[in-house]
């Protein structure tokens, strides 16, 4: 009987063996480098605060207000061609979103200078340019008040998401882990907001969605490290806490890097070839994954050294 993949025990075992791009016996002293990590974190936070104070966020149509047009075409819409057509009107920022059927489109145009008459003129330009091939289902002018409400709602949603994640970690582990997770997640989200301030990419509802996605992704890596630390603390009560943290980060390092690497493989094509529609979301997630991976490895676990109960536990275990 010829050997196949399933009958050849050697091949089958090799396939099931865990993949390690980092050797399992790696002994990198991450804790010793924590001050470099903390310094980098402080620099990133300060740079974010300065950028927000000097430049501020380049708020998109969702938050500044503008013109909203829902239209249905006679045939499937070529979004690229439609974007080029509307861009020739020189009305400023234009955002297209396909929803429902392939012939439905939502057109957002930034608020025009000059009051209500300027908005009506812009709407008429769009209708004249598109002609009779479109059936206009809805035309609204969204004021800045609605935009401010959306901005406040987005901020509240992001803050509540971080608090809820940290509360879960605190309940699932201990409150010290929850506090460390909150600090690390806040760092990741804040520095990603700083990216928008520095690059002046449009900050809109899609950007808020990227921040919420990033918060969930960041905490996922952190929880894996925390779980290994807790497991080791239960088995090796007499071990130095620094050794436990280093072992936990080293043991999960291969998994952390592979997770970040495979996610970046999917995001980088969107960054370079996704066009203006996807750049906000993809750029924010790409930066957030890089910063989140760094904070999971260097920042979150090292913060446990400064938590009161864990410090007391460390002294007790070393004296026993």
Residue 12: per-residue pLDDT: 46
Question: Is 217 a domain residue?
Answer: yes
Residue 1: per-residue pLDDT: 45
Residue 248: per-residue pLDDT: 84
Give the start-end residues of each E strand in the chain.
58-59, 66-73, 94-98, 104-110, 134-142, 202-203
Residue 5: per-residue pLDDT: 45
Question: Is 5 a domain residue?
Answer: no
Q: Do 255 and 219 sit in the same domain of this protein?
A: yes
Question: Is 9 a domain residue?
Answer: no
Residue 6: per-residue pLDDT: 46
Q: Which letter, b or e, does each residue of 100-113 get, where b requires 16 or more Cβ atoms within 10 Å of its Cβ?
A: eeeebbbbbbbbbe
Domain range holding 252?
29-58+147-319
Q: How far apart are CA 42 and CA 194, in angstroms?
A: 13
Q: Do 267 and 168 sit in the same domain of this protein?
A: yes
Residue 17: per-residue pLDDT: 54
Q: Do 180 and 101 sit in the same domain of this protein?
A: no
Q: Do 72 and 184 sit in the same domain of this protein?
A: no
* Nearest residue to 232 (alpha-carbon basis) of 220, 243, 221: 243
Q: Do 164 and 288 sit in the same domain of this protein?
A: yes
Question: Is 117 a domain residue?
Answer: yes
Q: Do 282 and 231 sit in the same domain of this protein?
A: yes
Separation in Å, CA 9 to CA 17, 19, 104, 160: 12, 18, 55, 51
Separation in Å, CA 266 to CA 68, 216, 286: 31, 17, 10
| DSSP single-letter state for residue 204 | S
Q: Which letter, b or e, does each residue of 5-38 get, where b requires 16 or more Cβ atoms within 10 Å of its Cβ?
A: eeeeeeeeeeeeeeeeebeeeeeeebbeebeebe
- With a CB cutoff of 8 Å and minimum separation 6, the contacts of 236 are 244
Residue 49: per-residue pLDDT: 92
Q: Do 131 and 228 sit in the same domain of this protein?
A: no
Rounded to 5 degrees, φ, ψ at 209 are -60, -35
Question: Is 235 a domain residue?
Answer: yes
Q: Do 164 and 274 sit in the same domain of this protein?
A: yes
Q: How far apart are CA 137 and CA 75, in angstroms?
A: 15
What is the full DSSP assignment across 69-97?
A: EEEEESS---HHHHHHHHHTT--S-EEEE
Of 142, 177, 210, which marks where a domain is finished? Answer: 142
Separation in Å, CA 229 to CA 137, 165, 224: 57, 19, 9
CATH number for the domain harbouring residue 138? 3.30.70.3400
Residue 43: per-residue pLDDT: 92
Q: Do 282 and 158 sit in the same domain of this protein?
A: yes
CATH number for the domain harbouring residue 195? 1.20.1640.10
pLDDT (tens, 9 = 90+) of the chain, 320 residues, equals 455 544 555 554 554 455 556 666 677 788 888 888 888 889 999 999 999 999 888 877 777 777 888 888 878 888 888 888 888 888 877 878 776 677 788 888 887 777 778 878 888 888 888 877 888 887 877 766 666 777 788 788 888 888 888 888 878 777 888 888 888 888 888 999 999 999 888 888 888 888 888 888 888 888 888 888 888 777 766 567 788 888 888 888 888 888 888 888 888 888 888 776 678 888 888 998 898 888 888 888 888 888 775 554 544 444 43
Q: Do 207 and 163 sit in the same domain of this protein?
A: yes
Of 103, 122, 142, which marks where a domain is finished? Answer: 142
Q: How far apart are CA 62 and CA 192, in angstroms?
A: 19
Q: Do 135 and 154 sit in the same domain of this protein?
A: no
Of 107, 142, 177, which marks where a domain is finished? Answer: 142
Question: Is 155 a domain residue?
Answer: yes
Q: Provide the domain count of the chain.
A: 2
Q: Do 37 and 75 sit in the same domain of this protein?
A: no
Question: Is 16 a domain residue?
Answer: no
HEC string for 14-76: HHHCCCCCCCCCCCCCCHHHHHHHHHHHHHHHHHHHHHHHHCCCEECHHHHCEEEEEEEECCC
* Nearest residue to 250 (alpha-carbon basis) of 191, 183, 310, 297: 297
Question: Is 294 a domain residue?
Answer: yes
């Amino acid at each position: 009987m010829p050997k196949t993949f399933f009958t050849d025990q050697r091949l089958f075992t090799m396939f099931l063996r865990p993949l390690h791009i980092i050797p399992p016996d790696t002994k990198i002293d991450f804790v010793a480098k924590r001050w470099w990590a903390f310094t980098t974190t402080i620099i990133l936070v300060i740079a974010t605060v300065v950028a927000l104070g000097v430049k501020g966020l380049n708020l998109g149509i969702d938050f500044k207000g503008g013109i909203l047009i829902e239209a249905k075409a006679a045939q499937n819409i070529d979004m690229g061609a439609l974007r080029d057509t509307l861009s020739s009107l020189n009305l400023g920022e234009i955002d297209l979103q396909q929803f429902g059927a392939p012939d439905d489109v939502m057109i957002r145009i930034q608020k025009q200078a000059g009051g209500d008459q300027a908005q009506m003129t812009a709407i008429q330009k769009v209708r004249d340019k598109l002609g009779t091939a479109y059936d206009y289902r809805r035309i609204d002018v969204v004021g800045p008040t609605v935009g401010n409400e959306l901005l406040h709602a987005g901020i509240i949603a992001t803050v509540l998401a971080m608090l809820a994640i940290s509360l879960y970690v605190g309940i699932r582990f201990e409150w010290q882990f929850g506090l460390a997770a909150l600090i690390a997640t806040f760092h990741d989200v804040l520095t990603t907001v700083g990216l928008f301030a520095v690059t002046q990419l449009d900050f809109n509802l899609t950007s808020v969605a990227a921040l919420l996605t990033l918060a969930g992704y960041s905490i996922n890596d952190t929880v894996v490290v925390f779980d290994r630390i807790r497991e080791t603390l239960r088995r090796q009560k007499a071990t130095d806490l620094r050794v436990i943290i280093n072992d936990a980060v080293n043991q999960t390092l291969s998994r952390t890097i592979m997770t970040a690497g495979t996610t970046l493989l999917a995001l980088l094509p969107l960054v370079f070839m996704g066009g203006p529609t996807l750049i906000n979301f993809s750029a924010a997630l790409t930066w957030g994954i890089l910063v989140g991976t760094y904070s999971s490895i260097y920042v979150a676990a090292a913060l446990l050294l400064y938590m009161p109960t864990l410090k007391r536990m460390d002294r007790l275990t070393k004296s026993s």
